[in-house]
Amino acid sequence: MIYLLADSLGEDNIEVNNNLKQQLRVFKTYDKPVKIVTRDYDRFQSQRCEQLGIDEADVINLFDYFQGTVKVAHKKPTIHDLPQISKRAYEIQPHGPNYQELRDGGRLIAHVQIMPTTVGQVNYIQYFDEFGNISLTQNYDWRGFKSSEDYLHPDGNLAYTFWFNQAGQRVLQLIHMYNADKQVVPTSYHLENYQANHYLFGSLDDLFSFFLDELIKNDDQATLIVNNPENLATSVRHLTGHPRVFLRYQHLFDPQQVITDSTNAQITDTIVATSSQATVLREHSDQVLPTVIADMSLSDTELHAEYTPIVKRQHNDIVAFTDFTDELSFANILKAWHLVRKTIPDAKLTLCSKPDSRVDLVAVFKKINAEQFQKIVNVVIDQNGIDKAVSTSKLILYLSKFAATPTTLLYNFKDRIPARATLSSELAPVISDLGLGKPISSNAEGIAEAVIDLLQNEPAQQAAVQAIETARTQLTIDRYWQAWQKVLD
Amino acid sequence: MLYFVNFNMPVNKSGIEHAQLKRMALFKAHKVPAKIVTRDYDPQLHDNLKYTDLTDDDILNEFDYFQDATHVEPTEVTPNDIKIPKNIGDQVVKKWVADQNYYEYYHNKAIFMRVAVFPNTQQVAAVHYFDTLQNLYQVDYYDRRGFISKEQYYTPDNQVNMEQLLRPDGSVAIQQFYRFDRSMKRATSQFRVVGYKGKDYEFNTISELLRFCLDELARQDPQVSIFVSDRSLVDDWSIMHMQEKAYKVLHLHNSQTNDANDPMHSGLNYNYELGLNNLDKWNAIITATKKQADNVAARFKPQIPIFVIPVGVVPDAVLTEKRVPMNQRTAGKVIAVARISNEKRLDDLVRAVGQARESVPNITLDIYGYENSENDYAEPKKVRKVIKELGLSDVVKLKGYTNNLLPVYQSAQVFGLTSRMEGFNLSLLEAISHGVVGETYDVNYGPNSIVKDGINGHIVALGNWHQMANNFVKLFKNPDLLQKLSDGAYQSAEEYSSDNIWATWINLISDANQKIANNR
């Protein structure tokens, strides 16, 4: 079995999710047994599967595994359906579509939050004492069962989380207590009555190692493709079993760390997304000879899908993938847009990025507003927003170093949209190698010149589209399979 | 069904628990269904029943009730039965800490578990769990019958944060939370009953929880439910606020006023203040003596009946037992059976014995009862100080609590009682039923009814220990008088025979049937 490891299918993992979809499709197409394996607790995972177009039967989550809820029939219980709620004792008060309350003679007993996009399906129930303190929070899985409970310390810090199986028995607990600096942190996981035994783990990494070992213990063909090595390498380094392990990096945030991770005896090979990344690693260590695979393929359906040709796209809308932590790049694109607007007054820009907790989006909007670009420059950080922006775009820019991966280029290929990458972007050499266009300067003038040139120069547009068409022929799933086959065989 | 409500049935019992035990024996003898209902959690409750004649059928603890643990067959759980995490099991070091009665378990020199056992056994009492940074985060308390009955979770500053009471099958029955109240004191903030007949319920206090439990008992009772509040401070609110139809009885086990000897004017005893100010919420009152009933009627003019039911029952076997003449008892032996606390004023009794000793050199005093820990054992310290000051260390002995008083009663000659107030005083009744002569202050209520002056002992003015000392001298210098009063004691116990007491209960039950059953 091939196991495609990721920390989660969360909305923050746009790049990894797209890569996983690519990998899952190619292995399934070629009849290789394959599963996506996720580590983090996510009671919305099945909803994420729906949103991503992934069959939830193709995914195993650590918590689901121990909870015995990998495969569960979907229900959509409302508060009125939950048998433990005494409708005789408590009044259920509606408060619009988002929440309800349980009250006893006016006193608030519980707040019932409703799942987004549903009619009354219970999301979580928070119980209060008479002083208004939260006693506990019961969390429901998207599939309609109580999955976990959170308890707080009196100071409001998270204290314990209990996870349950379908019979309502606790199977796992996470404890939060003091560390040496008197900060409340997760200190241990206790797996209870798993195959009649208890287990104690000091971290989620250790628990994930144990889980993976359990998953593969009867599988001598086990192959792990680790899509979040930054988060998961520690776990695979401590496996008791000996599967083949491939660390699949999207970006080289820290080449030295990649080398450290890769040199462990458990690791079979390292895979990077671009040949330039491989070159960087080779420069840092003669031991590491990474394989290059771009998770970039188009199915027959996608190759022949309808699309809106660039000539029919009405507006001068441009999408730019950027990384808001790269402040210079952000400043350059805003400056460039002033220059673009002088020549093309209706040019509009959508800045796309992955969600990043380090980014203060309020500050981002303030900077945009300071340039009087409120109605001209938009920001999206979610998959739907990106899809929508791309659907009307005439050009996709790749601005900063870690803004996108080769998989992101599929936006260009699906809708035949020209691509331009600055010299800063990791994608610049890929785009160049694919014949889609030479790197452009990272400064404002260079960016503006490239945008104006493409929007105003119809032959250049046509040439760019033609280059895309040509490159598309190299993106068949068969070629992509061959790349993986070479690694796996 | 009759339900006698209390806080617990501990090994060291007060007069109320003894009264309940005698009452239960009476009801069992007459095959009338009754149960003692206890409010507080006690993992040793059922094991402690071995010190009584009660069985699991006779007692119902509210936590047991929700935990489905009223009847559980005891099983042995030893430290070897406690699961050690399998992934570290090969590298565990186990240490026995004898003075703490527990085993400690270490992995890589870090403690991860501690298993405490019940004294002098290998039966697991509690398991303490430590996280990987050696913070204590959870303690599992085992019921003496061999199952985890409570999981207790801790805060980082080592305070109890949350408790889960479990059923024997491991499912959660009750959750109890400890949070800051509005004055930022950490207190019990909520009880959650989980999965009781498939439903969850929330309660702010243990009184609300008890009210719910009692209502459930009443709701399921095919007979008229009679609830007797035996420990008002613990149960009166819950009984008064029951929603199901039931016959509710306020039992005055002690004086209803702070000064028992000023029943018309003194402030109310805080134990009964709420109940007495809400007499419309009760169906009846029980007092142990007619004198108390008269005083309550005079002051409160209740619209409900007052039943005089002595809390003591002298079993037929005692009434017919072979009498022990005074000359076969320990000459000069005075006893007191009372906890050593302020209201018992045992220092007066010590002083009386000290004074009498000047004329009766062989007089001795044995005090049986546990020592009240209030104010850092202030009262026991005070009594010991008086003993020392009067040079009575060889004369007066603090014997502690005992469950076996029969040989004490059969070898003593005089029972001394110097309390400020009483509700009845079972020990005094037991003593006279075994022929011990009573010497008591004229104290409401009970002692001045049980002791009949010149018949089975003497009543002296409250606080007049000099007179009590004179009485001791008179008794011990006059064997005929001593024997006469002892005979009177044996005789007077017949007033408290099983038949006589039962007849008073029948009156109450009839009233309940008439008022409740007919209204159903």
A127 neighbors B192 (Cβ within 8 angstroms):
yes
Contact status of A314 with chain B (Cβ, < 8 Å): no
Give the residue-averaged pLDDT of A275-286: 86
* Domain final residue, candidates A265, A292, A319: A292
pLDDT value of position B15: 84
Residue B463: pLDDT band with limits 50, 70, 90 = very high
Contact status of A83 with chain B (Cβ, < 8 Å): yes
For A365, other C-beta atoms within 10 Å of its C-beta total 14
- The answer to whether residue A338 scores a pLDDT higher than 90 is yes
Cross-strand pairs, A93: A101
Instruction: Tell me if the bond preceding B445 is cis, omega within 30° of 0.
Output: yes
Overall size of chain B counted in residues: 520
pLDDT value of position A287: 67
Give the residue-averaged pLDDT of B411-421: 95
Q: Are residues A152 and A101 in the same domain?
A: yes
Give the residue-averaged pLDDT of B123-133: 95
- The answer to whether residue A369 scores a pLDDT higher than 70 is yes
pLDDT value of position B518: 66
pLDDT digits (tens, 9 = 90+) for A412-431: 999 999 999 999 999 999 99
pLDDT value of position A357: 84
3-state DSSP percent of chain B in helix, strand and coil, to 5: 35, 25, 35
- The answer to whether residue B155 scores a pLDDT higher than 80 is yes
pLDDT digits (tens, 9 = 90+) for A55-93: 999 999 999 999 999 999 999 999 999 999 999 999 999
Average pLDDT, chain B: 95
Q: DSSP letters of A105-157?
A: TTEEEEEEEEPTTSSSBEEEEEEE-TTS-EEEEEEEPTTSSEEEEEEE-TTS-
Say what the pTM is: 0.87
Q: Give me the number of domains chain A comprises.
A: 3
Q: Are residues A92 and A179 in the same domain?
A: yes
Q: Do A84 and B112 touch (CB under 8 A)?
A: no
Residue A489 lies in a domain: no
Q: Are residues A130 and A209 in the same domain?
A: no
Same fold flag, B2-70+206-308 and B316-494? yes
Residue A12: pLDDT band with limits 50, 70, 90 = confident
Q: For residue B72, which amino acid is it?
A: V
pLDDT value of position A246: 95
Q: Which of B105, B163, B189 to mutate to test the interface with A (most CBs of A within 10 A)?
A: B189
Measured in angstroms, the CA of A30 and the nearest CA of chain B are apart by 38
Residue A153 lies in a domain: yes
Contact status of A200 with chain B (Cβ, < 8 Å): yes
Residue A391 lies in a domain: yes
* Domain final residue, candidates A163, A186, A201: A201
pLDDT digits (tens, 9 = 90+) for B92-102: 999 999 999 99
- The answer to whether residue A24 scores a pLDDT higher than 90 is yes
Using CB atoms, which residue from A109, A182, A198 is nearest to B202?
A109
Using CB atoms, which residue from A84, A153, A180 is nearest to B199?
A84
Q: Residue B249 and residue A156: Cα distance in Å, rounded? A: 44
Q: Residue A469 and residue A461: Cα distance in Å, rounded? A: 12
* % of chain B beyond a pLDDT of 70: 99
Place of tokens 């139809």: B245
Q: Do A198 and B86 touch (CB under 8 A)?
A: yes
Q: Are residues A147 and A176 in the same domain?
A: yes
Q: State the burial class of residue A217 (Cβ atoms within 10 Å of its Cβ: 0-12, 13-18, 19+).
A: exposed
Give the residue-averaged pLDDT of B464-475: 98
Query: Which residues numbered 384-413 in A keep a CB inside 8 Å of some CB on B?
Result: none
pLDDT digits (tens, 9 = 90+) for A41-51: 999 999 999 99
CATH class label, B2-70+206-308: alpha beta
User: Which two tokens mark B379?
Assistant: 């009262």
* % of chain A beyond a pLDDT of 70: 100
Q: Span B316-494: which CATH code?
A: 3.40.50.2000
- The answer to whether residue A314 scores a pLDDT higher than 90 is no
Q: Are residues A463 and A370 in the same domain?
A: yes
In the 3-class helix/strand/coil scheme, how is B142-171 assigned residue by residue? EECCCEEEEEEEECCCCCEEEEEEECCCCC
pLDDT digits (tens, 9 = 90+) for A130-173: 999 999 999 999 999 999 999 999 889 999 999 999 999 999 99
pLDDT value of position A262: 85
Residue A336 half-sphere exposure, CB side, CA atoms within 13 Å?
Answer: 27
Q: Residue A357 and residue A149: Cα distance in Å, rounded? A: 25
Q: Do A89 and B175 touch (CB under 8 A)?
A: no
Residue B520: pLDDT band with limits 50, 70, 90 = low
B346 neighbors B365 (Cβ within 8 angstroms):
no
Going from N- to C-terminal start, the domains of chain B cover 2-70+206-308, 79-203, 316-494
Q: Are residues A328 and A440 in the same domain?
A: yes
Overall size of chain A counted in residues: 489
User: Which two tokens mark B34?
Assistant: 């009754």
Q: Residue B331 and residue A78: Cα distance in Å, rounded? A: 80
Residues in chain B within 8 Å Cβ distance of A153: 155-156, 161
Q: Are residues A130 and A243 in the same domain?
A: no
Torsion of CA B99, B105, B109, B111, to 10 degrees: -80
Residue A483 lies in a domain: no
Distances, alpha carbon A373 to alpha carbons A174, A338, A403, B382, B419, in Å: 47, 9, 22, 86, 90
Q: Are residues A186 and A211 in the same domain?
A: no
* % of chain A beyond a pLDDT of 90: 83
Q: Residue B170 and residue B173: Cα distance in Å, rounded? A: 9
Give exposure, A126-155, as e/b (b: 16+ Cβ within 10 Å): bbbbbeebbbbbbbbbbbbbbbbbbbbbbe
Give the residue-averaged pLDDT of B182-202: 93
Q: Residue B28 and residue B230: Cα distance in Å, rounded? A: 18
Q: What is the predicted ipTM?
A: 0.86
User: Which two tokens mark A127?
Assistant: 């119980």
Residues in chain A within 8 Å Cβ distance of B197: none
Average pLDDT, chain A: 94
Q: Read off the CATH number of the domain in which A24 is found.
A: 3.40.50.2000
Place of tokens 């988002």: A98
- The answer to whether residue B406 scores a pLDDT higher than 70 is yes
Residue B55: pLDDT band with limits 50, 70, 90 = very high
Q: Residue B66 and residue A450: Cα distance in Å, rounded? A: 75
Q: Residue B246 and residue B209: Cα distance in Å, rounded? A: 17
Give the residue-averaged pLDDT of A315-320: 95
Q: Are residues A216 and A93 in the same domain?
A: no
- Residue A313, C-beta contacts closer than 8 angstroms, at least 6 positions apart: A392, A393, A394
Q: Residue A7's domain spans which residues? A: 2-73+204-292
CA nearest to B217, candidates B196, B231, B191 = B196
Q: Are residues A138 and A189 in the same domain?
A: yes
- The answer to whether residue B283 scores a pLDDT higher than 90 is yes
CA nearest to A72, candidates A161, A168, A141, A150 = A141
Q: In what order do the strands lie in the sheet with B437-441?
A: B396-400, B364-368, B333-337, B414-417, B437-441, B457-460
Residues in chain A within 8 Å Cβ distance of B153: 151, 159-160
Q: State the burial class of residue A197 (Cβ atoms within 10 Å of its Cβ: 0-12, 13-18, 19+).
A: middle
Residue A164 lies in a domain: yes
Find how far residue A366's CA is from the centre of its chain.
Answer: 26
Residues in chain B within 8 Å Cβ distance of A110: 202
Q: Are residues A36 and A163 in the same domain?
A: no
Residue A38 lies in a domain: yes
- The answer to whether residue A325 scores a pLDDT higher than 60 is yes
Q: DSSP letters of B391-457?
A: T-TTTEEEEE--S--HHHHHH-SEEEE--S--S--HHHHHHHHTTPEEEEES-TTTHHHHS-BTTTE
pLDDT value of position A168: 94
> Residue A189: closest CA among chain B residues belongs to which residue?
B131
A54 neighbors A64 (Cβ within 8 angstroms):
no
Residue A480 lies in a domain: no
Q: Are residues A210 and A194 in the same domain?
A: no
Find how far residue B361's CA is from the centre of its chain.
Answer: 37
Residue A276 lies in a domain: yes
Q: Do A168 and B202 touch (CB under 8 A)?
A: no
Residue B519: pLDDT band with limits 50, 70, 90 = low
* % of chain B beyond a pLDDT of 90: 92
Residues in chain A within 8 Å Cβ distance of B88: 200
Q: Do B155 and A86 touch (CB under 8 A)?
A: no
